[in-house]
Amino acid sequence: MSTIIEFREKGMYQQQKSREEHASSAASFCKEVTELHLTSIDSQPATSRPEFKGVTFRKASTGGFARSRNDVHELLDCTVCMNLMHPPIYQCANGHTLCSSCKARVQNCCPTCRHELGNIRCLALEKVAESLELPCVYQNLGCIDMFPYYSKLKHEKNCKYRPYNCPYAGGECHVTGDIPSLVMHLKDDHEVDMHDGCSFSHRYVKSNPQEVENATWMLTVFNCFGRQFCLHFEAFRLGTAPVYMAFLRFMGDDNEAKQFSYSLEVGGNGRKLIWQGIPRSIRDSHRKVRDSHDGLIIQRKLALFCSGNEGMELKLKVTGRIWRVR
């Protein structure tokens, strides 16, 4: 009898000890999160926060702060897709969290405990996220700024360090990278023409041009002022009228492209058309530039007249020049 009582007491002691350890662990985590929050508040001058006058906040040690910050970052990782969660953040009745995108995919069933999810928001975690600052996802490409948790995605959509899309217009190429790697990609994989100089003269030839409604000629890249410019030439329909269009794109950001200007000239048979403009950044796709009509546009009938040969063959000479504005 005494043995049974001893086992029962031992079992009760182990259960109580387990509960105490769990509570201690939870309290320790809450303490670290609290210290993280107080540290961020303490970074502001006391005079700027009148509600905390006369109150001294204790800063967490460097190691403790780093550990707390990592713990909070891990809490904000979705258990399904492992990406950072943004509001609305959902949780099941047992406290397991996941992002709104994954919630729509798991058919209202918690992937951790298999209980019904419902529509419970984890407001505490959303509030904690507001106090965080995170590095840009393009940190390894040169972006050194830190951003509030909820501003990070907005910044990354326009970060100047984000990779560029391949500017090749002859097909749907999904290669991305910085400018030097894209220049090598265009040369090695697309075998585009590379030229040095700020003045150029190109002849575009097409037999049976009357039968061609949409066409894209080989891209040409010019190295000028230590930068790269892409010359495009395409045939398409502008409304019901078949036209040709030539335009220039700059391999860099829009604010850099505005430092340059260019002119295009096409003619023959005593006729001449001249266009002058600012090259568009390759951040804008060639289709976006074409559809905005931001370039030299010549109707097919006039292009064929300038070509001679009674309109039987397109032989259009396009000359141009690039110069620095400022």
User: Which of 157, 175, 200 marks a domain boundary?
Assistant: 157
Question: Do 200 and 81 belong to one domain?
Answer: no
Question: Do 315 and 235 belong to one domain?
Answer: yes
Whichever domain contains 140, its CATH number is 3.30.40.10
The answer to the question of residue 31 being in a domain is no
3-state secondary structure the chain: CHHHHHHHHHHHHHHHHHHHHHHHHHHHHHHHHHHHHHHHHHCCCHHHCHHHCCCCCCCCCHHHHHHHHHHHHHHCECCCCCCECCCCEEECCCCCEEEHHHHCCCCCECCCCCCECCCEECHHHHHHHHCCEEECCCHHHCCCCEEEHHHHHHHHHHCCCCCEECCCCCCCCCCEECHHHHHHHHHHCCCCEEEECCEEEEEEEEECHHHCCCEECCCEEEEECCEEEEEEEEEEEECCEEEEEEEEEECCCHHHHCCEEEEEEEEECCEEEEEEECCEECCCCHHHHHHCCCCEEEEHHHHHHHHCHHHCEEEEEEEEEEEECC
User: Which of 109, 134, 157 marks a domain boundary?
Assistant: 157
Question: Do 203 and 277 belong to one domain?
Answer: yes
The answer to the question of residue 6 being in a domain is no
The answer to the question of residue 2 being in a domain is no
Residue 192 is predicted with a pLDDT of 92
Residue 31 is predicted with a pLDDT of 39
Question: Do 96 and 197 belong to one domain?
Answer: no
Question: Do 217 and 135 belong to one domain?
Answer: no
Question: Do 134 and 208 belong to one domain?
Answer: no
Residue 57 is predicted with a pLDDT of 31
Question: Do 137 and 214 belong to one domain?
Answer: no
The answer to the question of residue 60 being in a domain is no
Question: Do 207 and 306 belong to one domain?
Answer: yes
The answer to the question of residue 177 being in a domain is no
Residue 44 is predicted with a pLDDT of 42
Q: Which domain holds residue 209?
A: 192-324
The answer to the question of residue 235 being in a domain is yes
Whichever domain contains 296, its CATH number is 2.60.210.10
The answer to the question of residue 125 being in a domain is yes
Question: Do 144 and 226 belong to one domain?
Answer: no
Residue 231 is predicted with a pLDDT of 95
Instruction: Give the global pTM.
Output: 0.65
Question: Do 142 and 215 belong to one domain?
Answer: no
Residue 168 is predicted with a pLDDT of 92
User: Which of 113, 133, 157 marks a domain boundary?
Assistant: 157
Question: Do 210 and 318 belong to one domain?
Answer: yes
Residue 66 is predicted with a pLDDT of 46
Query: pLDDT by residue for the chain (326 residues), tens digit each?
Result: 444 434 344 444 444 444 444 434 433 433 343 343 333 334 444 334 333 333 333 333 344 444 455 566 677 888 888 888 878 889 988 989 988 889 888 888 898 898 888 889 999 888 887 778 888 889 888 899 888 877 888 898 889 899 999 999 866 789 999 999 999 999 999 999 999 999 999 888 888 777 777 888 889 999 999 999 999 999 998 888 899 999 999 999 999 999 999 999 998 888 889 999 999 999 999 889 999 999 999 998 888 888 876 667 888 899 999 999 96
The answer to the question of residue 202 being in a domain is yes
- The structural domain count of the chain equals 2
Question: Do 153 and 231 belong to one domain?
Answer: no
Residue 263 is predicted with a pLDDT of 97
Residue 251 is predicted with a pLDDT of 97
